[in-house]
Amino acid sequence: MMTSAPSGTHNFKVVLLGEGCVGKTSLLLRYIEDKFNDKHLTTLQATFLNKKLNINGKRINLSIWDTAGQEKFHALGPIYYRNSNGAILVYDITDEDSFVKVKNWVKELKKMLGSDIVLIIAGNKIDLEHERTVPLEEAESYSTMVGAKHYYTSAKLNQGVEELFLDLTREMVDRFEQNSQADVSRTSRVLVVDDETPVQTSCCSGNRST
């Protein structure tokens, strides 16, 4: 009969990070708007969007958080990306600075969240291939080095957007299942940020990191 298994749905949080104007908001809108003819976007739909997926029988509730790219808000990053299962780091292939910024984000995320988070690097605006300034090889080798998948996207032409989110989601599901196998006691992802969370003894969590 109808058993509403509570663990049946994965709830994943994904943040979009990147410099101003690289196309974070555009990517998000492109992904969500896709079919729903909903001209009536409310406030939050541009900053916070939900998408329900069902991949091969696994239910996933994605909540995607757009962030502000302006430099003055940079310090707020940790508030937004904490508890994230995935991060999409966007740069503009015609803007070298935006790629440098991505590298900084990677460093920061690794430091703050360790390997708990799935990283994706997205080179956006490939419709402007002729104006490319970020070398293809550099971007890809860097991504491999830091263990992030690299994608090319164009929010304008709707290229690579869905694939990016789909692969990210699958990766998050895999990661989640690995983790829950590796450490049965960890029912939900606990970020070791504050000292109030019960300290795990080293014998059970010692070889948990991948």
Ligand X SMILES: Nc1nc2c(ncn2[C@@H]2O[C@H](COP(=O)(O)OP(=O)(O)OP(=O)(O)O)[C@@H](O)[C@H]2O)c(=O)[nH]1
Contact positions vs other proteins (CB under 8 A):
2-6, 8-9, 11-13, 20, 25, 35-44, 46-48, 50-57, 59, 61-63, 65-70, 72-73, 75-76, 79-80, 82-84, 166, 188-189, 196
Distance of closest approach, residue 14 Cβ to other proteins, in angstroms: 9
Decide: is 53 part of the binding site for ligand X (CB under 6 A): no
Nearer to ligand X by Cβ, of 73 and 182: the residue is 73
15: phi then psi, degrees, rounded to nearest 5: -110, 145
Per-residue binding letters, 78-107, with ligand X (x by CB under 6 A):
------------------------------
Decide: is 24 part of the binding site for ligand X (CB under 6 A): yes
Alpha-carbon torsion angle 16, 174, 207, 146, nearest 10: -40
Q: What DSSP assignment string belongs to 165-184?
A: HHHHHHHHHHHHHHHHHH-T
3-state DSSP percent of the chain in helix, strand and coil, to 5: 40, 20, 35
Q: Which DSSP helix (H) or strand (E) runs through 61?
A: strand 58-66
Contact between residue 168 and residue 14 where contact means Cβ atoms under 8 Å apart: yes
What Å distances lie between residue 122 and 142, 162, 163, 173, 194, CA to CA?
A: 12, 12, 11, 20, 31
Decide: is 25 part of the binding site for ligand X (CB under 6 A): yes
Q: What DSSP assignment string belongs to 26-54?
A: HHHHHHHHSS-------GGGGTEEEEEEE
Nearer to other proteins by Cβ, of 18 and 123: the residue is 18
Decide: is 25 part of the binding site for Mg ion (CB under 5 A): yes
Q: How many residues bind Mg ion (CB under 5 A)?
A: 2
Cβ-proximal residue to ligand X, closest one: 69
Q: How many residues bind ligand X (CB under 6 A)?
A: 17
Q: Which of residues 145-204 bind ligand X (CB under 6 A)?
A: 154-156
Site for ligand X, rule CB under 6 A = 18, 20-26, 68-69, 124-125, 127-128, 154-156
